[in-house]
Amino acid sequence: MVTDPDQVRRLAESKEAENLHFRRHLHAHHVPIEPFQILAHEIERQIDCTQCANCCRRMIVEVTPAEIQAIAAHLGVPVPDVMQKHVDPEPGDSAHKIMRTEHGACTFLNGNLCSIYDVRPAACREFPHVAVGAHTLGARMESVCRHSSVCPILFNAIEAYKAHIAYHPRS
């Protein structure tokens, strides 16, 4: 199992064309997502996300007003302070807010740990979005493949799923 974030990124990028063909294969053959989700869940149990925290470094996280209020309450500061220090407007869409990144990571990342873990946004709580039975946008194979360069769970789950369905890349 590959867990080093840099190695995962390199391998996932080298498999972009293969994964495009893989997604087309899944769609053409109406392969269900549930077996993939089960494999991903098993792999997720084997990986310690605090050894990686790559998602906190490379993902853009939308945050709702309710989540901003929860963060403010957790920190014991007014909402405007959280807005000023930790939230940015989404580029090209000032109506939506995203968590600010500084120095290549979420402002709440401390080492590899989330300093607001108990009140982290839903996007963070649910990542990598492969819960068994979930049918969210994040559970779509296109999204999974796109994020496989960020997450060792996703990368390894895709490779395990290919083996599970006996998928062979085009030569």
* End-to-end Cα spacing for the chain: 24
pLDDT at 171: 55
Q: Which pair of structure tokens corresponds to residue 25? A: 């294969």
Which residue ranges make up each domain of the chain?
5-56+127-164, 60-118
Alpha carbons 83 and 8: distance in angstroms, whole number: 33
- Can you name the residues that pair with 87 across neighbouring β-strands? 99
Look at the pTM and tell me if it is higher than 0.95.
no
Q: Are 82 and 68 in contact (CB under 8 A)?
A: yes
pLDDT at 36: 92
Tens of pLDDT along 12-45?
999 999 999 999 999 899 888 889 999 999 999 9
pLDDT at 93: 84
The Cβ of residue 170 has, within 10 Å, a number of other Cβ atoms equal to: 8
